[in-house]
Amino acid sequence: MSLKEKFTSISPAEFFKRNPELAGFSNPARAMYQALRELVENALDATDVHEILPSLKVIIERTNQEKEIYRLTVEDNGIGIPPHVVPDAFGRVLYSSKYVLRQTRGMYGLGVKAAVLYSQMYQDKPIEIVTAPINSKRTYFFKLKIDVTKNEPIIYERGSVFNEAGTHGTAVSMYILGDWMRAKSRIYEYIKRTYIITPYAEFYFKDPEGNVIFYPRLTTKIPPPPKEVKPHPYGVDIELLKNMISRQKDEMTVREFLIKEFQGVGEKTAQSVVELAGLDPDKKVKKLSDEQLSKLVDAMKNFPDFRSPSPEPLSIIGSDLIELGLRQSFNPEYVGAVTRRPKAYQGHPFIVEVGLAYGGDIQPSEEPTVLRYANKIPLIYDEKSDVIWKVVEEIDWKRYGIEEEQIPLVVMVHLCSTKVPYKSAGKESIADVEEIEKEIRNGIMEASRSLKTFISEKRKGEETRKRLLTYLKYIPEISRSLSIFMADGKKDVASKIQEELKNKLMDLVITRLNIKEQDLELFKSYKVEEL
């Protein structure tokens, strides 16, 4: 037996090829769903973040009858991809345009590459990309795989044609081993939930059984896009600071560095932070020792008077679009939504939005249906390990007037942040961060108060209405008595008067109470025997 261990190093591509479940590719059903998600999310990031109303085409076809190999295609009308970056964007793990402080669905630079790695493990066809950047005279196409050992793209085919129609956007097709029957409900759910939160998008979806669904655009109002910002001083660590300093000019002082590179730091704040760190404000930042850097980070973390992180890099959906999406998808009796004020955790800004839909066509069940979203991505798997679920579970709905054992309620929570604390690279559940948890709870409570008002008003209205409706049953008797009095003993006249009085009184009450067809039926059932 050898006591010597053998040390080697592997590339990031090799790592994710060996551990596909870390990125959500744990079995064929899940992988099919995950690959589709990565393509759809990239397509949406290429559109709404750039104020383009998204039009997406999603097609899944079965291409092999022996093995369950499917071709997934997602086509968008986004900004396209510059041809020189296409090979790396699709063939180099941890390569991204989203490593900036701005809210996007993507953040790791991994998603589509993890899908390519999974794809090439079980079949031999490369990924196909066709893209036309905005204002490009040409449309470019590529076929590529990933060299797993080197973490590099291997290009099989590339070329370009004249972009005659002057269109822009990207179409990506990939072949993967899937399991449609087991993935089907999740994929449909994913598309439906994406549509709820992006009612300004249109989706064409064709499944491998040939079924086609078209989700039309419900509005042309698009949420204001996120803006890129500088880091907040609370969010720094020594490594980040070193990295930022390495890009500065030699003559830059500590004070100038703080003002130039961080958000919300002016002359006065910079001076105070440097003093707190016990440093000379005019010292050249590149000359700081490790110990001084550590002191500076401590001061930045402990300085009490920074402004809160700017919400500018965030892009909320807004209560009107949330309500629109929920109304369209659930046809509820009540819908309401709130967008909370920006908050921050560890220097990262975040905003929580909550939508509630109640009654109407919502299927009652023991627990409310929870729709979880992070940066406009619906989270479908791992529901029970998510902080949103944890908070919803703790809410006592009876306090908000929901008395039923079976609740017809949908609770939608959207967290947007420049850094969503996902539990894994597969982005399916959000970790319990105290500040976020508290804000989700406050958001649900705020939204629930309006629901409570609605329910109690509805109940009061129903009771008043019921009472008034019961009065209707006295109309025949009142008409009969009055008619005898008015007809002065003439029987044939009396019955005519009685009929007229009855109709008039009925009309009067029906108009006053604004009684609808179905309530009239109810009234008929109250009618008492004529004396």
Ligand X SMILES: Nc1ncnc2c1ncn2[C@@H]1O[C@H](COP(=O)(O)OP(=O)(O)OP(=O)(O)O)[C@@H](O)[C@H]1O
Angle (deg, nearest 10), helices 475-487 and 491-513? 140
**Is 53 labelled a binding residue?**
no
**Is 384 labelled a binding residue?**
no
30-50 burial: b if 16+ Cβ within 10 Å, else e: bbbbbbbbbbbbbbbbbbbbe
Q: Taking a C-beta distance cutoff of 8 angstroms, is the pair 161, 14 a contact? A: no
Q: Taking a C-beta distance cutoff of 8 angstroms, is the pair 321, 200 a contact? A: yes
Among the listed ranges 11-19, 107-115, 379-387, 462-470, the one in contact with ligand X (CB under 6 A) is 107-115
We find the least distance from the C-beta atom of residue 95 to ligand X, in angstroms, to be 6
Taking the least distance from each CB to ligand X, the nearer of 100 and 240 is: 100
Alpha-carbon span 393 to 397, nearest angstrom: 10
From 41, 140, 146, select the one nearest 82 (Cα to Cα): 140
Taking the least distance from each CB to ligand X, the nearer of 43 and 392 is: 43
Taking the least distance from each CB to ligand X, the nearer of 339 and 375 is: 375
Taking the least distance from each CB to ligand X, the nearer of 97 and 123 is: 97
Q: Taking a C-beta distance cutoff of 8 angstroms, is the pair 295, 278 a contact? A: yes
Using CB under 6 A as the binding rule, whether residue 110 contacts ligand X is answered as yes
Taking the least distance from each CB to ligand X, the nearer of 48 and 439 is: 48
Residue given tokens 């085919």 in the structure block: 157
Cβ contacts of residue 61 below 8 Å, gap of 6+? 70, 71, 73, 206, 208
Using CB under 6 A as the binding rule, whether residue 116 contacts ligand X is answered as no
403-462 residues in contact with ligand X (CB under 6 A) are none
Taking the least distance from each CB to ligand X, the nearer of 78 and 359 is: 78
Q: Taking a C-beta distance cutoff of 8 angstroms, is the pair 312, 300 a contact? A: no
We find the least distance from the C-beta atom of residue 235 to ligand X, in angstroms, to be 19
Question: Binding-site residue total for ligand X (CB under 6 A)?
Answer: 20
Using CB under 6 A as the binding rule, whether residue 76 contacts ligand X is answered as yes
Using CB under 6 A as the binding rule, whether residue 349 contacts ligand X is answered as no
Binder among 71, 98, 284, 465 for ligand X (CB under 6 A):
98
Give the E-state strand segments of 80-180 in sequence order.
Answer: 127-132, 138-147, 152-162, 169-177
Using CB under 6 A as the binding rule, whether residue 139 contacts ligand X is answered as no
Using CB under 6 A as the binding rule, whether residue 75 contacts ligand X is answered as no
Using CB under 6 A as the binding rule, whether residue 62 contacts ligand X is answered as no
3-state secondary structure 211-278: CEEEECCCCCCCCCCCCCCCCCHHHCCHHHHHHHHHCCCCCCEHHHHHHHHCCCCCHHHHHHHHHHCC
Q: Taking a C-beta distance cutoff of 8 angstroms, is the pair 401, 440 a contact? A: no
**Is 212 labelled a binding residue?**
no
Alpha-carbon span 288 to 248, nearest angstrom: 13
Q: Which residue is nearest to ligand X (CB)?
A: 106
**Is 111 labelled a binding residue?**
yes
One character per residue 187-206, x = contact with ligand X (rule: CB under 6 A): --------------------
User: Rounded to the nearest 5 degrees, what angle is found at the Cα of 476, between the Cα atoms of 470 and 482?
Assistant: 125
Distances (CA, A) of 407 to 3, 25, 367: 62, 34, 6
Q: What does the block give as tokens for 444?
A: 């649900």
We find the least distance from the C-beta atom of residue 81 to ligand X, in angstroms, to be 4
Taking the least distance from each CB to ligand X, the nearer of 194 and 448 is: 194
Alpha-carbon span 115 to 32, nearest angstrom: 9
Binder among 42, 103, 310, 418 for ligand X (CB under 6 A):
42
Among the listed ranges 110-118, 182-190, 258-266, 461-469, the one in contact with ligand X (CB under 6 A) is 110-118
One character per residue 143-182, x = contact with ligand X (rule: CB under 6 A): ---------------------------x------------
Among the listed ranges 41-49, 212-220, 372-380, 497-505, the one in contact with ligand X (CB under 6 A) is 41-49
Binder among 112, 176, 410, 444 for ligand X (CB under 6 A):
112
Binder among 35, 46, 69, 433 for ligand X (CB under 6 A):
46
Binder among 49, 52, 72, 89 for ligand X (CB under 6 A):
89
Binder among 11, 34, 73, 96 for ligand X (CB under 6 A):
96
Binder among 32, 35, 81, 501 for ligand X (CB under 6 A):
81
Using CB under 6 A as the binding rule, whether residue 113 contacts ligand X is answered as yes
Binder among 13, 29, 36, 43 for ligand X (CB under 6 A):
43
Q: Taking a C-beta distance cutoff of 8 angstroms, is the pair 88, 29 a contact? A: no
Using CB under 6 A as the binding rule, whether residue 92 contacts ligand X is answered as no
Using CB under 6 A as the binding rule, whether residue 108 contacts ligand X is answered as yes
Binder among 78, 178, 223, 359 for ligand X (CB under 6 A):
78
Q: 25 by DSSP, 3-state: which?
A: coil
Q: What is the CA radius of gyration of the chain?
A: 31
Q: What does the block give as tokens for 503?
A: 């109709």
Among the listed ranges 49-57, 95-103, 317-325, 461-469, the one in contact with ligand X (CB under 6 A) is 95-103
What sign has the CA pseudo-torsion 6, 8, 14, 16?
A: positive
What's the burial of 200, exposed, middle or buried (CB within 10 Å: 0-12/13-18/19+)? buried
Using CB under 6 A as the criterion, which residues of the chain lie in contact with ligand X when the complex forms?
Answer: 38, 42-43, 46, 76, 78, 81, 89, 96-98, 106-113, 170
Tell me the binding residues for ATP: 42, 76, 97-98, 106-113, 427
Tell me the binding residues: 42, 76, 97-98, 106-113, 427
